């Protein structure tokens, strides 16, 4: 089959498919294209709304985490005291007189030593 015959064959097939489409969709495809466009817009709107809610939930959880962060506690003036083996000191009975301690505050760290107490 030469090129011109092929072209005629495919043009005829295209006309047949067009006729079949018109029989299947007598009002044309415009109605369906319009409906798909409406649905696409609705999906986009719903997705934006979902993302906005997810962002708000994430921001809220992030703020909660920041509030409980040890660094936020340090910013309020507290310190984290640790022994040489990095165990956090929770009470004075955990420390011996003369023991060197690490003290972490909001803007850095320093060393301190427990002084002996005279019954205080």
Q: What is the pLDDT of residue 24?
A: 83
9 and 40 in a single domain? The answer is yes
Query: Taking the model in full, what pTM does it have?
Result: 0.46
Report which of 76, 75, 74 is spatially closest to residue 103, judged by C-alpha positions. 74
Q: Report the alpha-carbon distance of residue 31 to residue 56 in Å, rounded.
A: 38
- Please report whether residue 119 resides in a domain: no
* 92: containing domain: 77-113
49 and 101 in a single domain? The answer is no
Q: What is the pLDDT of residue 112?
A: 93
Q: What is the pLDDT of residue 119?
A: 59
48 and 17 in a single domain? The answer is yes
82 and 105 in a single domain? The answer is yes
47 and 26 in a single domain? The answer is yes
12 and 41 in a single domain? The answer is yes
63 and 27 in a single domain? The answer is yes
- Please report whether residue 118 resides in a domain: no
Summarize pLDDT for 2-50 with one digit per residue, the tens.
888 888 898 899 989 888 888 887 777 777 778 889 999 999 999 999 9
Residue-averaged pLDDT of the chain: 88
Q: Report the alpha-carbon distance of residue 77 to residue 109 in Å, rounded.
A: 13
- Please report whether residue 82 resides in a domain: yes
What is the mean predicted confidence (pLDDT) over 52-74?
91
Does residue 87 register a pLDDT over 60? Answer: yes
Specify the number of domains making up the chain: 2
Alpha-carbon torsion, ordered 84, 86, 91, 92, to 10 deg: 10
3-state secondary structure of 71: helix
């Amino acid at each position: 089959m030469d090129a011109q015959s092929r072209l005629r064959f495919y043009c005829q097939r295209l006309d047949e498919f067009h006729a079949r489409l018109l029989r299947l969709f007598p009002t044309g495809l415009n109605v369906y294209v319009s409906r798909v466009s409406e649905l696409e817009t609705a999906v986009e709107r719903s997705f934006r709304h979902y993302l906005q809610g997810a962002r708000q939930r994430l921001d809220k959880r992030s703020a909660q985490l920041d509030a409980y962060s040890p660094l936020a506690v340090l910013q309020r003036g507290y310190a984290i005291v640790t022994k040489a083996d990095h165990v956090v000191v929770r009470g004075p009975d955990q420390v011996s007189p003369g023991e060197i301690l690490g003290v972490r505050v909001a803007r850095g760290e320093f060393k301190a030593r427990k002084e002996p107490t005279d019954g205080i």
